[in-house]
Copies of this chain bind each other. A is one copy, B any other.
Amino acid sequence: MKLLSGAVAAVDHGGSLGRASALFPHAPQPFLDLSTGINPHSYPLFDLPATALSRLPEPGRLRELAEIAAKAYGARSAAHVVAAPGTQILLPRVASLVRPGKALVLGPTYAEHARAAAIAGHAIVEVGDFDALADADLAVLVNPNNPDGRVIERHRLVGLAARLRAKGGLLVVDEAFMDVGPVQHSLAGDVGQGGMVVLRSFGKFFGLAGVRLGFALADQLTAERLEAQLGPWAVAGPALEYGIRALANAGWQDDMRQGLAADAKRLDALLSRFGIAVAGGTSLFRYLSFSDAASLFSALGERGILVRHFADRPHALRVGLPGSEEEWQRLESALAAWASRRDDAPKEC
């Protein structure tokens, strides 16, 4: 159990090429960014109607998005769906749904949850054991977990939510990567029972992180409270249009799930060829935990390939999926160069 400071300072994230350039100023450009879990195969871009930019987003279009999202995610109805400009901006609002108390975060995980809970006035403790969460006023976990892919089964989550609800607490389950499963452990269909909020991210699976679209799924009263906090026109025109089209396209989603699963296997096989065992992850990123992680991070960075490292866990790395064949080959060459340097290094005996 780790007591986290209540600081609300900005935390470090993947996905910034500016930061990559600062870290590896001599790396060949452009960077291959494998530091996020964002799908490199974006949903196909299309021309937006000019009114998506010029006019205020239409309330009827937002209702349509909520209906399509409810169906795509498995929520019982649109009344359980709150659309927002990304899940990120929802985190402090969700954490504020319960009075300041004890927030327990199942770690290690996405650092913004602790920051959001601190903003909401909670005292935050990171716990490593699921059962410890029952003691919380606000319990937060990511399922499947980022970065290690740990999955908590649905029946355990439903049980925890019931216990928290009984004492006025709340379970927050961030399903940012649940689009690639295991969907049988999603709580999307259970939120009507109350005591839980599920977060779903649009940008990661659909490869459209720049449009900023995310959802909270909750019982109807909680959904209304969150909507009141956001106010009208929270979702931009481009996000509305992409959300409606992409979330309604079940065929693309099914194909993409299969493609990503195959790519994840390919990445595991590639890493394994260079002696790197994959410790976990999802189809959108792989989690590595091994003693040479820092050396691999630097070697890849110097060759313009950015993966995610973690200041507090030097043995851990998270690696996203390459997109094009060229990117796969670039990664393979960089891994080969690193492995050969490693194998040539004088052994300390």
A133 in contact (CB, < 8 A): no
How distant is the Cα of A45 from the Cα of B235 in the complex, in angstroms? 20
How distant is the Cα of A252 from the Cα of B66 in the complex, in angstroms? 37
Asked whether, in the complex, the Cβ of B85 is within 8 Å of the Cβ of A232, the reply is no
Asked whether, in the complex, the Cβ of B56 is within 8 Å of the Cβ of A209, the reply is yes
Asked whether, in the complex, the Cβ of B208 is within 8 Å of the Cβ of A54, the reply is yes
| Residues from chain B with Cβ under 8 Å of A53 in the complex | 42, 45, 208, 210-211, 238, 242
A19 in contact (CB, < 8 A): yes
- Given A86-B233, A92-B229, A119-B228, does the pair A56, B238 have CB atoms closer than 8 Å? no
**A residues in contact (CB < 8 Å) with B:** 8-10, 13, 15-19, 33, 36, 38, 42, 45, 50-60, 85-86, 88-89, 91-92, 112, 115-116, 119, 203, 207-212, 228-239, 242
- Given A53-B210, A57-B210, A210-B51, does the pair A88, B229 have CB atoms closer than 8 Å? no
How distant is the Cα of A59 from the Cα of B230 in the complex, in angstroms? 23
For the complex with contacts A18-B58, A56-B209, A238-B238, 16 further pairs of A-B residues with Cβ separation under 8 Å are A8-B228, A15-B55, A38-B55, A42-B50, A42-B54, A53-B211, A53-B242, A56-B210, A57-B212, A86-B234, A88-B232, A89-B89, A89-B231, A91-B231, A112-B232, A119-B229
Closest to A60 in B: B18
| Residues from chain B with Cβ under 8 Å of A10 in the complex | 228, 232
Tell me the minimal C-beta distance from A313 to chain B in angstroms.
Answer: 20
Most B-side CB within 10 Å, residue of A91, A210, A211, A236: A210
Asked whether, in the complex, the Cβ of A19 is within 8 Å of the Cβ of B228, the reply is no
| Residues from chain B with Cβ under 8 Å of A115 in the complex | 228, 231
Asked whether, in the complex, the Cβ of A88 is within 8 Å of the Cβ of B15, the reply is no
